Every structure is written in structure tokens, then in C-alpha cells.
Amino acid sequence: MWDVRARGHFRKEEKTEWGVDPTKEIPSSAATTKYTDFLLATAAGKVDGTKGSDKMVTPFEKTKIAAYIVGAITPCMRLYAYLGKELMAFLKQDENHPYKKWINTYASSDFENNALQIEELLDKLSVSLTGEELEIIGKLYQQAMKLEVEFFSAKLVDQPVVAPLSRYCDPKYKLLIFSDFDLTCTVVDSSAILAEIAILSFQKASQSGIDNNLDRAKSGELRNLWNMLSKQYMEEYEECMERLLPPEESKSLDYDKLYKGLEVLAEFEKAANSRVVDSGVLRGMNLEDIRKAGERLILQGGCKNFFQKIVKTREILNLDIHILSYCWCAELIRSAFSSAGCLDGLNIHANEFAFEESVSTGEIDRKIQSPLDKVEKFKSIRSDADSTVPFLSVYIGDSAGDLLCLLEADIGIVVGSSTSLRRVGRQFGVSFVPLFLGLVEKQRQLMDEDASVFKPRSGVLYTVSSWSEIHAFVLGSDFS
């Protein structure tokens, strides 16, 4: 129904503005055919591997198939409404845009109401369905959205583009992908996980002891010690942030002053690590327990899928992938990515626990402890890249400790909502721009410039709401 109304609205514009004669039949693209075949199969009840049925006797069966059909159509409505609103903001900069009518239609309140109505209808039709049937609707929804993305991606783009990077980078380019680990890839900071393993390891080792009351008391002391170290770290971190900030906000990026300011943070991080080592709280952990904890680490939504895809395509896209982390134990990181099936091809740069017969001694082989250590490692990797091949670097991070690397990269992407990162960045002249808006501006620049539009130390960092945005930017639908 909505498609018929939209086609009627555009019929005049198609011939006059887009050079298309609606009276002539145009063969459907493969992407269009794939989507319509999917809708027809759903309408016939051929879902989730079933053959379907010509007879829908009971009202319940009819309701179920109706719910499946609406579930397959709803993503199209929602996607078009979303795209219309997102693109509407850019019409003000180009009043003569050839797709102005298209954008106005799908950005209208009328179309948004249509999208809401079909979503409400889907909710009503789904009330009487079983859990298994609701799961089928979820799969239909996802498949429909995927087919819609393929539909838009099928259009031949005959001009240079900044996204996805897989198309922007000539095959001769080397793409260097860098990422932080704690709270960039993970939901929980690894230091707390390692401390918990240490406490549980002590309890496990004490179970064979004679005086269980004494063992529990010592275990409690160990937890109290860790809590004290954590509290001290947080209090001193806030004080450190205050000390490194300049009295006035810079109007543009002042990288040298930022570097100087982060020297304060570097000394703080090193001192905090020394306190942890000296406390002995990290002593007595079994290597296998650390590996198991890594396997159970929960990654940020979309992170696992991104690394799985990018590892598989690294040779096709000529890219290197590096993890730069303060994490005390690189084995934890290796286990996390290994369990996700994407360790091969990843280069892990982090600290290492010292072990004796697979039991931690409490010492740390300190390789990366501070923002300065991180950026020096970043520069070292970048300088080691094949000098005969042009390259583009991307750094993904979430904290103030990532700022130098984010700025040194050609493209710095900020995940999460760290207030300290934004506060420090802005004070030293860093701008934070949503990735989508930034790419629109870069696309305009690309049309006017021959050289790369991405440059290090530009003073602009791009913010994203999830790893799915990063995936779309780097790989697009070509490798999804």
C-alpha cells in the first residue's frame, strides 16, 4: 500500500527530474528480485525451512502467517523513515538535490505515522504467538533488513567514496587497524576480573587447609586490599585529571601541550601499577583459570562480529590488526579473541604476567602502562609498515589514555561515553564529531581534492554509538 502511494507521488518527478520513463518496463535488479522473492515465500508460509501450505484453515494459522508477512515488511518501512530523517538535514545545504522529493516523502510525518502503524500492527498480531514463532519473526525481520541493505548497496557508485574504507582504500593501500581492549572491546575492565581470579584462587588453594576460619579471614583481607587499591586509584585518577588540564580551553588542537599534560597521567599509571605489584594481590593465579576467564569475557555488541569479519578479510583488504592495551595480562586478551574465533591475524601488544609452573608470581612484565607507551608503540608499528606502500591508520579507543593514539591515527574513532576523554580532549582543542556527519563532510572534500582527506593530528575525532557503526564504516556491506 505505502509503496503504491509513494510510486504515485514520484511518477511525474521520475520522468522530468531523474530521466526515467515510468511507462517503460525496467528489469528488476538481482537485489530487488531477491527481496520480492523473500516476501512472496513468506506470504506462502515458507519460513524457517518449511515448505508452506496452500490451506490455512484456522484463524490462528491465518494470524500467524499475517504476522510473518508484516514482520518481513516492517523493516523496510522503518529503514526508509530512518533514512529520510537522516538525509533531511543535508537538504538545507543543497536545495536543488535531485532526490529532494524522495527524501521529503520519507522524512515526512505522514510516512513516520505509516511506519508506526505497521509496527503497532506487528505487535498486535504477535500477542498470541508462541516463543518459537516470535523467534521466527525476529529472523524474518533481520533477513528483511539485510536484503534492504543489499538493495541500497547494489547501486553502482561511479565516483570516489570515503565509506566504506574497503572501497576508499586502493588495493595497493595498506590499512592499519588499531584498537584498545578494556572497555573499548570489553564490557568490564580486565583489572577487576584479574583481581577476582586472584581472590578465588586463594580461596581454592586454602580449601585443603586445616583452619578454614583463618583462610576465610585471609581471603577477606585480600578482597579488602583490592577494594582499597581500587578506591585509591579512582580518587587519584580524578586528581590527576584536574592537574593535567590547562586553565583555558584551546581553540585548536595543541598536541604538544596535550602530550606534556599526559606525562602526568603516565607517571600516575606507573605508580598505580607498582602499588598493585608490591601488594602481592596478583600472586597465585593459575594460568588455566586466566584463560577460562578470558573465554567468558563479554565483548561489546558488534565487536566480536567486526573482528571475525576483519580477520577473515585481512589478506583481501591488505590490512594489519593490532590491539594496544594497558591490560596486565596479555593471555587474557588472547583467550578472549581465541574463543571468539578471531585470534589468528591479531597482533596483541600488552603487559604479561610472570609465571612459575603456570602460577602467577605477582610480577608484571610492564610493556604498555601509559598513554606515552601506547603512542610510542603505535608510532613504532606505523614506521615499521612497508614504506613503499601508502597506508591509512585507524585507531579505536574509549579513554583519555587513548587520546594520543586517536590523534596520531589518520582516523580516530571514539567508542563509549567517557567524560574524562571528552573533557581533556576539548580542553586541548580536540573536536568530537559523530562519524556519520564527519563522513558526509569528508565526502564533500573528496570531490574537491585529489589527496587523502584523512590526515593525522587533524584535531577531529569521530564518535560512534556501537561497533556496528565501525563495521559499516570499515567494511560496509561488501564483507558483512
Q: Which of 322, 222, 196, 360 is nearest to 279 (CA)?
A: 222
310-318, long-range: CB < 8 A, 24+ apart: 310/177, 310/342, 310/474, 310/475, 310/479, 311/342, 311/344, 311/345, 311/346, 312/479, 313/166, 313/475, 313/479, 314/345, 317/166, 317/169, 317/175, 317/479, 318/169, 318/171, 318/172, 318/173, 318/174, 318/175
In the three-class reduction of DSSP (H, G, I as helix; E, B as strand; rest coil), residue 431 is classed as: strand
Cβ-based neighbours of 330, under 8 Å, separated by 6 or more: 348, 349, 350, 351, 352
Task: Clarify whether 148 is annotated catalytic.
Answer: yes
Please name which of 410, 472, 474, 394 lies closest in space to residue 179, comparing C-alpha atoms: 394
Q: What grid cell was written down for 422?
A: 571528552
DSSP string, 129-144: --HHHHHHHHHHHHHH
Of residues 13, 148, 240, 242, which has the active-site annotation?
148
Helix (H, G, I), strand (E, B) or coil at 462: strand
- Rounded Cα distance between 138 and 172, Å, is 41
Q: Is 363 known to be catalytic?
A: no
User: Catalytic: which of 17, 76, 86, 150?
Assistant: 76
By annotation, the residues acting in catalysis are 76, 148
